[in-house]
Amino acid sequence: MRAAGAREAARGAVARLAEREGYWVHLDVDVLDDAIMPAVDYRQPGGLSWAELEDVLRTALGHERAAGFDVTIFNPRLDPSGTVAGRLTDCLRRALAVEGPPV
């Protein structure tokens, strides 16, 4: 994914998945880089940035074969101020606001 870029990697995956009747998009937020997502139980460096996650989600969710979406692994006890939840919500709102595949 790093070599191709988040958007291109997502486009390749969606192209393969779209050959089926439909696909489900499952997001574990621990895929985000440790520096920006401390509200998970299993933190690790080298994950996606907010912009990369948005690109991946916009690509995956913008296809007509995307059948559904869920988000897991966020631990609100590790975000007492709600700041990280706000950033995640903003990212998801932008990603879900698409009307079709990105150009």
Q: Cα dist. 58→29, 45, 77, 82 in Å?
A: 15, 23, 28, 24
pTM over 0.75: yes
Which residue matches tokens 């007509």? 64
What pLDDT sits at residue 103? 43
Which H helix or E strand runs over 50? helix 50-61
Residue 69, token pair as written in the block: 């979406």
What pLDDT sits at residue 13? 85
What pLDDT sits at residue 90? 97
What pLDDT sits at residue 31? 95
The pLDDT averaged over each successive group of 10 residues in the chain (103 residues) is 80 84 93 95 90 94 92 96 97 82 48
